[in-house]
């Protein structure tokens, strides 16, 4: 009852005073009243909890903090105090509130606090405040002093928080400054690291962990850790608690990266080794730790220790097998030996793994330097997390050491058999990444190829990708690979494209290996004519793809072709031009010669052509209208053709063409004679002009969002065109005269946009000399005050008399494209389902140069009755097979009410955009954050751009049977 009474007494004196101090009294006052009403600690706690759920405005924070602190002093119940302390921390995170003003109060309360839990919470609050104001050195010193004082607390939580404070706020540059008056506090003179390292031996594991973490935090903030803590860190590796060990592993790793070359002694012997080797051994040891968390940690870190000596590195794959004290060879060694003795693929004999020579018992070291077999253990681990980490680490290490890559090959290939698909997939990817270093032996290839039968599409495709990059050593390997790929093709016909592509690379990589087996592959015979194979057989096409690609760099091969092969070549070169390269064929020189001429030079000349046409367009200003128009038309046509011919420049050429098309449209719309006539008579022209304006707008969105690689200058150009189109619309609106009100608001909107343009592209403005916008901005102050009619008049003249800004091209522009592979749209069998229920349609599409497809790409289904659905695929349905490429494999659910006849629906991909997620980087985003005033219309525009050609799917919803 006492606490109850005490609280009751206060409000009458305090409330009015408070009200004066607060700018927005509502929230804090309500809290205050609530707190005062609270009759018991539980009630108070409830109020506080409720209060915590709602956000507080920046300007009322201080008031709230005062009330909380006041209540804090009065409160006897520690749980309420705890909550208040945590609220203080929460509040000081509020944006726009500078928390330095409450530091003193918190430190004061800290000194009088008895409860350890509350102490810990208060320190946490200080930590929050400290991280909010990282610049203030003075405050940091104060906080560090506070932390020093409480480091000796008996409660682990308090020590934890103190260490955290050290980690986050301890000064990085130098040992703590002596300015704190003559080293009055002995602790302050000591440097942060040694203070923290004293707590490595704390009796509480949580404090030990916090100490290590604080140290790591210091490292992250840029302080160079001292080498002396290495030994302590190593000792902590054998701690009883996993979180300590886990943190210690990180610490050892950090030190090994800092001092890789310093020399440390090996205990129990006189030898010395490099620190990085020593720590590598120790971390390897942790790969067989009892806790899997530590094992994952250790395996991951191993991957980044590239400075380790090759001798140690190779140990990680060697377990030194023995059986009954006899040295035994690993299966890998045996396979290699069998292979080199030419006995590969002979049946296995009983006891061929019998141990050989006797092992010297004294020389066998069962645990010693833990590097021995670390990866063997890691790859065999029970938890797949560890295995994946080990595979990744192997990859990282192999990429920096070719000899290690060679050695780890066998182990990676073994992982293709893992029970978890993720691990298998990962190891295939890893093998692909290191495949530049390795050449597969026949037996290894054999095991790799066995995976081609896997029922998971991802695995198979990853493997195809791997084969594209693989080097093999013999012609038998090629044969083997082809055989397995063909088997794969018959078993999973949907893999067609992927298999062909794989063979394309296989052929172009190993022309000399393919050459001797060509007759066999094409089943030609020196004397007899063989029957002509079926041209539509995917397997035959696969063989041809292999042979043609090999023939590209092996001119003698064509002599082995038979007549029909040449015919098939011509056909395939046309139908599958992306798989079949141009060949120099005997007797067909004329057709093939121009195509075979140096590719590089043609790209260059195309680029030159592009530049020339753009400069030519610049001269458009000087020409009279019809001349300019025809010049533009010609240039657009040229550019479009160029894009088709030169795939490297397709994006750029397309972009230019579209841009110029916009200009052309604008130019046409602004022709003199249209505007000089009285309005009502020329409704038709009006319609034409408004149509043109709308089209220009649409094109600008395509320009902005469909192309990647744009710089802010190009974006400015696009926006400029858009602004012109909008001005045009405004003028049209004025001419139709539907009253002043809509015009007024439209004018205002337009002016906002001009304003926004100016803010957005300040840095680009110099490039827009004499352009529409430049002129507008010159007279902007006058515009803002003028009447709509005047404005329109000004706009009209400016539009007509301003010149086009020159388009400057960036290095590389890529157009986002998409192609739906499946459904093919060729099926004549309608997909039947009961109307009202759903049917799943498998969609498989490739996307090129689409940024962030997970959020932007959508599938649109258009039903014959005009209904359309837009479906957002799951993020997991997107895979990334290569840079700039994405693959969408998803299911689209269709449903409709009953039809009488089977009918076709359109399925296509859309690219959704919204200008707020625009990708122009610097100025735009900064500006977006800072705007608080009127948001321009622009930022709210959202829409979609068709990304792929529509595919027709035959469906037939049947009425449900009753």
Residues pairing with 839 in the sheet: 894
> How does DSSP classify residue 841?
E
Complex with other proteins: residue 160 or 717, whichever CB lies closer: 160
Token pair belonging to 688: 């034409």
- How far is 819 from 908, CA to CA, in rounded Å? 9
- Could you tell me the smallest distance in angstroms from the CB atom of residue 349 to other proteins? 8
Q: How far is the CB of 433 from other proteins (least distance, A)?
A: 20
In the complex, what is the shortest distance from the CB of residue 487 to other proteins, in angstroms, rounded to a whole number?
A: 10
CA–CA gap between residue 839 and residue 863 (Å, rounded): 14
Residue 406 CA: distances (Å) to CA of 392, 427, 545, 891? 16, 15, 30, 41
Helix/strand/coil for 436: helix
Q: Which is nearer to other proteins, 425 or 606 (CB)?
A: 425
Tokens, residue 109: 């309360």
Q: What is the DSSP letter of 517?
A: G
**What DSSP line would sit under 848-908, residue for residue?**
ES-SSHHHHEEEEEE-TTS-EEEE---GGGEEEEETTEEEEEEEEEE-----SS-EEEEEE
Q: Which residues contact 334 (CB under 8 A, 6 or more apart)?
A: 352, 353
Nearer to other proteins, 12 or 348 (CB): 348
Q: Considering the complex, what minimum distance in angstroms separates the CB of residue 351 from other proteins?
A: 8
Shortest distance in whole angstroms from residue 152 CB to other proteins: 6
Nearer Cβ to other proteins, position 421 or 595? Answer: 421
Nearer to other proteins, 340 or 417 (CB): 417
**Cα 898 from Cα 903, distance rounded (Å):** 11
Distance CA 31, CA 205 (A): 40
| Residue 624 Cα distances to 162, 621, 672, 693, 798, angstroms | 78, 8, 12, 22, 18
CA angle (483 as vertex; 478, 488 as ends), nearest 5:
125
Query: Which is closer to other proteins, CB of 276 or CB of 423?
Result: 423
Query: Would you say 320 or 752 has its CB closer to other proteins?
Result: 320
Q: Least CB distance from residue 292 to other proteins, whole Å?
A: 9
Strand, helix or coil for residue 174 = coil
Q: How far is the CB of 154 from other proteins (least distance, A)?
A: 6
Q: Least distance (Å) from other proteins to the CB of residue 585? A: 40
Q: Of the two residues 152 and 827, which places its CB atom closer to other proteins in the complex?
A: 152
Sign of CA dihedral 434, 440, 443, 448: positive
Q: Which residue has the tokens 């009100």?
A: 741
Binning the chain into helix, strand and coil, the percentages to the nearest 5 are: 60, 10, 30
Alpha helices per DSSP H over 619-707: 625-645, 650-669, 672-676, 683-706
Quick check: 213 and 196 in contact, CB under 8 A? no
Q: Which single residue is written with the structure tokens 């860190």?
A: 233
Comparing CB distances to other proteins, the nearer of 324 and 901 is 324
* Per-residue exposure over 400-425, b if at least 16 CB sit within 10 Å of its own CB, e if not: bbeebbebbbbbbbbbbebeeeebbb
Nearer to other proteins, 135 or 419 (CB): 419
C-alpha triplet 945, 951, 957: angle, nearest 5°:
115
CB distance 262 to 251 below 8 Å: no
| Closer residue to other proteins, CB minimum distance, 159 or 573 | 159
- Min separation Cβ 503 and other proteins, Å: 22
Q: Kindly report the number of other CB atoms within 10 A of residue 134's CB atom.
A: 12
At its nearest, how many Å lie between other proteins and the CB of residue 418? 8
Q: What is the spatial distance between Cα 207 and Cα 217, in angstroms, rounded to a whole number?
A: 15
Question: Is the Cβ of residue 278 or residue 381 nearer to other proteins in the bound state?
Answer: 381
Min dist. Cβ of residue 881 to other proteins (A):
21
d(CA 931, CA 917): 15
- The answer, yes or no, to whether the previous bond of 361 is cis (omega within 30 of 0) is no
- DSSP letter at 935 equals P
Supply the minimum distance, in Å, between the C-beta of residue 161 and other proteins. Answer: 17
Is the Cβ of residue 427 or residue 890 nearer to other proteins in the bound state?
427
What the block records as the tokens of 110 is 């800290």
Expressed in angstroms, the distance from the first to the final Cα of the chain is 73
Is the torsion defined by CA of 448, 450, 451, 453 positive or negative?
Answer: positive
Please state the closest distance from residue 198 (CB atom) to other proteins, in A: 12
Q: Which is nearer to other proteins, 376 or 888 (CB)?
A: 376
Report the residue number, 321 or 679, with the smaller CB distance to other proteins: 321
CA distance 48 to 50: 5
Q: Which residues bind other proteins (CB under 8 A)?
A: 152, 154, 201, 203, 240, 288, 290, 319-325, 328, 330-332, 347-351, 361, 364-368, 373, 376, 379-384, 411, 414-415, 417-420, 447, 450, 453-456, 491
Shortest Cβ distance from residue 332 to other proteins (Å)? 7
CB of 367 to other proteins, least distance (A): 5
């Amino acid at each position: 009852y006492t606490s109850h009474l005490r609280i009751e007494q206060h409000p009458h004196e305090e409330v009015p005073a408070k009200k004066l101090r607060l700018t927005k009294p509502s929230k804090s006052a309500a809290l205050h009243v609530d707190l005062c009403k609270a009759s018991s600690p539980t009630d108070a706690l409830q109020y506080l909890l409720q209060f915590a759920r709602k956000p507080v405005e920046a300007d009322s924070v201080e008031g709230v903090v005062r009330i909380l602190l006041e209540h804090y002093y009065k409160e006897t119940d520690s749980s309420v105090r705890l909550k208040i302390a945590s609220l203080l921390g929460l509040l000081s995170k509020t944006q726009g509130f500078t928390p330095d003003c409450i530091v003193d109060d918190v430190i004061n309360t800290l000194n009088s606090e008895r409860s350890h839990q509350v102490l810990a919470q208060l320190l946490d609050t200080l930590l929050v405040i400290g991280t909010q104001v990282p610049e203030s050195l003075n405050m940091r010193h104060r906080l560090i002093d506070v932390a020093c004082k409480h480091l000796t607390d008996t409660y682990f939580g308090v020590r934890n928080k103190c260490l955290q404070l050290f980690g986050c706020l301890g000064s990085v540059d130098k040992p703590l400054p002596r300015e704190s008056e003559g080293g009055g506090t002995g602790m302050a003179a000591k440097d942060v690291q040694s203070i923290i390292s004293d707590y490595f031996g704390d009796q509480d594991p949580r404090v030990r962990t916090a100490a290590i973490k604080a140290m790591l935090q210091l490292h992250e903030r840029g302080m160079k850790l001292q080498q002396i803590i290495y030994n302590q860190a190593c000792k902590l590796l054998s701690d009883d608690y996993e979180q300590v060990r886990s943190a210690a592993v990180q610490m050892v790793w950090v030190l090994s990266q800092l001092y890789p070359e310093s020399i440390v002694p090996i205990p129990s012997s006189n030898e010395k080794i490099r620190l990085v080797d020593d720590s590598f051994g120790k971390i390897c040891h942790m790969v067989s730790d009892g806790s899997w968390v530590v094992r994952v940690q250790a395996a991951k870190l191993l991957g980044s220790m590239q400075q380790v000596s090759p001798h140690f590195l190779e140990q990680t794959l060697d377990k030194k097998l023995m059986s009954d004290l006899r040295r035994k060879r690993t299966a890998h060694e045996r396979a290699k030996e069998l292979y080199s003795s030419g006995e590969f693929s002979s049946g296995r004999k009983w006891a061929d793994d019998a141990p050989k020579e006797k092992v010297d018992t004294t020389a066998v070291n069962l645990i010693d330097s833990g590097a021995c077999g670390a990866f063997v253990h890691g790859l065999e681990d029970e938890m797949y997390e560890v295995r994946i980490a080990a595979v990744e680490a192997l990859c990282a290490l192999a990429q920096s050491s070719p000899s290690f890559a060679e050695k780890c090959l066998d182990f990676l290939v073994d992982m293709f058999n893992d029970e978890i698909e993720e691990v298998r997939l990962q190891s295939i990817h890893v093998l692909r990444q290191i495949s530049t270093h390795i050449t597969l032996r026949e037996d290894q290839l054999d095991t790799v190829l066995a995976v081609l039968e896997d029922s998971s599409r991802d695995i198979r495709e990853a493997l195809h990708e791997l084969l594209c990059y693989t080097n093999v050593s013999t012609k038998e390997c090629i044969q083997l690979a082809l055989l397995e790929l063909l088997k794969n093709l018959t078993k999973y016909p949907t893999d067609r494209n992927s298999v062909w592509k794989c063979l394309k690379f296989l052929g172009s990589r190993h022309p000399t290996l393919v050459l001797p087996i060509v007759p066999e592959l094409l089943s030609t015979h020196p004397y007899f004519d063989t029957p002509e194979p079926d041209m539509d057989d995917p397997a035959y096409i696969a063989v041809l793809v292999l042979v043609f690609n090999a023939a590209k760099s092996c001119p003698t091969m064509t002599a082995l072709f038979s007549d029909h092969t040449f015919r098939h070549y011509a056909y395939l070169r046309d139908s599958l031009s992306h798989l079949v390269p141009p060949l120099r064929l005997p007797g067909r020189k004329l057709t093939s010669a121009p195509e075979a001429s140096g590719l590089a030079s043609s790209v260059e000349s195309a680029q030159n052509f592009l530049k020339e046409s753009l400069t030519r367009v610049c001269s458009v200003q000087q020409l009279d209208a019809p001349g300019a128009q025809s010049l533009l038309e010609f240039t657009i046509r040229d550019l479009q053709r160029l894009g088709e011919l030169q795939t490297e420049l397709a994006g750029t050429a397309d972009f230019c063409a579209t841009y110029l098309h916009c200009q052309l449209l604008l130019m046409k719309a602004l022709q003199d004679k249209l505007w000089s006539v009285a309005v009502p008579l020329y409704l038709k022209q009006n319609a034409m002009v408004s149509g043109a304006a709308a089209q220009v707008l649409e094109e600008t969105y395509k320009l902005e969002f469909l192309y990647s690689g744009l710089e802010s200058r190009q974006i400015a150009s696009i926006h400029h065109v858009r602004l012109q189109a909008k001005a045009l619309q405004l003028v049209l609106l004025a001419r139709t005269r539907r009253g002043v009100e809509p015009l007024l608001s439209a004018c205002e909107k337009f002016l906002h946009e001009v304003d926004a343009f100016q803010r957005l592209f300040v840095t680009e403005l110099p490039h827009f000399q004499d352009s529409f916008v430049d002129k507008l901005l010159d007279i902007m102050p006058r515009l803002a005050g003028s009447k709509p009619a005047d404005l329109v008049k000004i706009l009209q003249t400016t539009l007509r008399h301003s010149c086009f800004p020159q388009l400057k091209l960036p290095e590389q522009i890529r157009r986002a494209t998409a192609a739906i592979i499946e459904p093919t749209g060729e099926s004549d069998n309608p997909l039947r389902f009961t109307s009202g229920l759903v049917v799943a349609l498998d969609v498989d599409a490739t996307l090129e140069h689409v940024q962030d497809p997970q959020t932007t790409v959508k599938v649109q289904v258009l039903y014959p009755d005009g209904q359309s659905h837009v479906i957002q695929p799951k993020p997991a349905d997107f895979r990334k097979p290569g840079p700039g490429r994405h693959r969408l494999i998803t299911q689209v659910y269709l449903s409709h009410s009953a039809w009488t006849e089977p009918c076709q629906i359109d399925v296509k991909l859309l690219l959704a955009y919204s200008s707020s997620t625009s990708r122009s980087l610097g100025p735009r985003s900064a500006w977006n954050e800072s705007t608080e005033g009127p948001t321009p219309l622009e930022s709210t525009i959202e829409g979609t751009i068709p990304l792929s050609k529509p595919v027709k799917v035959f469906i037939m919803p049947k009425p449900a049977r009753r």
